[in-house]
Structure 1
Amino acid sequence: MRYVNKYLRNLAPYKLASHKIWDVPKSERSNILKLDWNEATIPPSPLVHERLMELMNDQPDYNLYPSSYCEELHKAFAEYAGVPKGNLQYFASSDVLHEYIARVFISVGDPVLILGPTYDNFRLTCEAQGGKVYYSEYTNDFTLSESRFENDIYRTNPSLVYICNPNNPTGNLLPLDYLERLLSTFTETLFLIDEAYFEFIGVTAKELIFKYDNILISRTMSKAFALASFRVGYMLSSVDNINTISKVRNPKNFTTFAQVAAIAALNDVKYMYDYVKEVNKAKKEFVQFISSMSPSLETFNDAGNFLLIRVSSLVNKNDLIAHFEASDIFVRDFAHSSLLLDCFRITIGTREQMKRVQGVIKQFLNK
């Protein structure tokens, strides 16, 4: 252990969800509903497969590093995001982007405030960099106490505040006027707004990057665009922030296959929007189903492609999760926050997929 970075010696790992889908033959995976990681539940646009096959037929230069700057991809991202190219940079996943943000903007001992419970991997990223992580938590019914949150910012005086918006796993969405108030009030603090799920609600803080230099926005193509396997993310911010983070960014780490897949998906945004519409319809129907079935199940905010569900007791929650697994449906259990001990999160798929989930819940409740 003496050779290990001292910030890693007692670091709690990020808890992974079940990966049992990879333990079964490919022919059997279609029977499994993997609803634990908020991935898309359908394949990406057919254009992605088509462009990748064209790439393979052209015999790509496997012996060469990928293009370190893909003009076509950068332009496609900028057009989709509605920002100038100078306000955007792409990365090999939003997780990698978060690692660069920690390297650039967090020094050893710097306080970092996380609005939680939320995506726990960012906590790991900051602590591995030597940052000191603090939390400001939502209330017991997963609403935001603005006064408590702002008091926590004053108290910890953080170098960076992490806000997932919409928040994973609680589904909260902070309004844009409130985010702007934070930016204008705490001008010496950097705010990272994680918009991994913004397509499902259509609300983005991107306009604020032109007014304030203390905001970074991270996004991913793993959710609405169904490109989780390709690891594609990007950042929106001021030109100065983009130029600063680009100094340490490794431009060789974004593969040729990821570039081609991302361009293809961005060339077929209608496919993505159709999927988002389907998910939002399925989500609405599923919320209605839960509310009509049993008072022992309670849903909360619904701004993402998932729902957080509270069960009447920890025993019942564990039994329900086991019942799901026996039915080849995987949902996300939580242990890193006391607020979530009696909760699980379920990714929302298509209406047909969620009908299957409803049937399994009915079976459980009837038992």
Structure 2
Amino acid sequence: MASIAEKGGGVFEGIKLLLCENPLPPLAEAVVAAQAETPRSNYYTEPFSAPLRDFIAESVNVPPRLVHINAGSELILRQIFQRIGQRVHLLTPTYPLFPEIAGQYSETRLRPEKDFVFDLDDLLIPDGTTLVVIVNPNNPNGGVYDMSPLAGLLARHRQTYFLVDEAFIGLAGESVAHLVPKHSNLLVTRTLSKAHSLAGFRVGYAILPQDWAEDLNTHNDAYPLARPSQAAALATLQHEDKILQRAVKLRGWTEDLATQIRSLGVRAFASQTYFFLADFTPHRADDIAQRLRERGIYIKPLNDPALGSGFMRVTTALPEDNARVVLALREVL
């Protein structure tokens, strides 16, 4: 399964670049908050993680009743697809979970010859589509969309739901979560696993029309998060200024890594996140991945037949680890 491969790594000891994990640890404030709550883990949290839900609602400027919280955004995404994922339209390449869990899907291809840039004004949606998925910033290339055409798309396709997955919105891009109260066919999902460095705490949430939020709250655990997870999430979101500062640092490391990889004759595409696509053609990405793994670096080929065998998503590590990656690539290539 693609989603399992996306998560892989397990007990691998070395530099892991395949998961889009943030190389920076959680904020110190998050660690302290989680530690403080751990002795109280014999108690449940408030129903529906109310303190966190209320804080998110205020931050996004939506009513709390439109917020659904769960143990990671993948749970939320799977349930959305179970309900309306019969005929999905994707902008590809995309997060590999989506084609895996869609009943059937059509696609609009993002083209490497256009640096994976696409104007949503040009998006054509097939008749009968139940769900359109827009990932912003997009995974795996790290580009962002101009979201200004979205309101028009929502109005023209009132019978079609639009899911905007903002997993990486803490790094770049224009959020559309504030539009949810105005559009009954707009769903927005987010995670604290990426920009906020809380992957191991498993915190995801969605901004949804009221009937959707009530449905998901009704059909999920009323206590979705462990107490340390909820505390870490609140402490992190209360220091969003530090997350933004870290995002600048991460993008700098990413561009430095991309520049060094380009110096090896590899095409590395522009990104506004901490990962980017690289085309190693005429080399095969799976061969390179295997040889890097032998050198203590875990990365995986993109395996997108439409792009060819040379493509790989590269995630920044810490600068000293990036130097090891470049050295290993120089040997391999």
- TM-score using structure 2 length: 0.88
Partner of 2:155: 184
In structure 2, the CA distance between the partners of 1:319 and 1:69, relative to structure 1 (3 Å rule), is closer
Distance 2:10 2:220 in 1: 33
Q: Deviations over 1:71-115 (max 9, x none)?
A: 321122224434332332211111011122123434xxx312222
Partner of 1:70: 49
Q: 1:37 is matched with which residue: 19, 22, 26?
A: 19
Tell me the CA shift for residue 334 of structure 1.
2.3
Q: 2:302 is matched with which residue: 309, 324, 334?
A: 334
Distance 1:207 1:364 in 2: 47
Tell me the CA shift for residue 217 of structure 1.
0.8
Partner of 1:307: 276
| Ranges in structure 2 where 5+ consecutive residues have no aligned partner | none
Distance 1:34 1:272 in 2: 22
Tell me the CA shift for residue 147 of structure 1.
8.0
Distance 2:120 2:64 in 1: 34
Q: 1:134 is matched with which residue: 75, 96, 106?
A: 106
Higher mean alpha-carbon deviation, 171-180 vs 212-221, is at 171-180
| Ranges in structure 1 where 5+ consecutive residues have no aligned partner | 1-11, 24-28
Partner of 2:32: 50
Tell me, yes or no, if the aligned pair for 1:198 and 1:304 is still in contact at 8 Å.
no
Distance 1:200 1:50 in 2: 24
Matches within 5 A, 1:10-159: 14-17=3-6, 19-20=8-9, 22-23=11-12, 29=13, 32-56=14-38, 58-61=39-42, 65-106=44-85, 110-126=86-102, 131-141=103-113, 142-144=116-118, 149-150=123-124, 153-154=125-126, 156-159=127-130
Q: Deviations over 1:31-87 (max 9, x none)?
A: x2211100111210122222222223x3431xx654323332112222443433233
In structure 2, the CA distance between the partners of 1:202 and 1:139, relative to structure 1 (3 Å rule), is closer
Tell me the CA shift for residue 20 of structure 1.
4.2
Tell me, yes or no, if the aligned pair for 2:70 and 2:203 is still in contact at 8 Å.
yes
Distance 1:337 1:217 in 2: 29
Q: 1:216 is matched with which residue: 180, 184, 187?
A: 187
Partner of 2:133: 162
Provide the identity percentage.
23
Tell me the CA shift for residue 240 of structure 1.
4.0
Partner of 1:287: 258
CA RMSD, 1 decimal: 2.6
Provide the aligned length of Structure 1 versus Structure 2.
331
Distance 2:254 2:279 in 1: 16
Partner of 1:7: none
Distance 2:83 2:6 in 1: 29
Tell me, yes or no, if the aligned pair for 1:21 and 1:34 is still in contact at 8 Å.
no
Distance 1:145 1:40 in 2: 28
Tell me the CA shift for residue 237 of structure 1.
3.0
Q: Deviations over 1:133-165 (max 9, x none)?
A: 333322353343768740xx13x4211111111
Tell me the CA shift for residue 197 of structure 1.
0.8
Distance 2:112 2:271 in 1: 16
In structure 2, the CA distance between the partners of 1:287 and 1:260, relative to structure 1 (3 Å rule), is same
Tell me the CA shift for residue 13 of structure 1.
5.4
In structure 2, the CA distance between the partners of 1:83 and 1:348, relative to structure 1 (3 Å rule), is farther
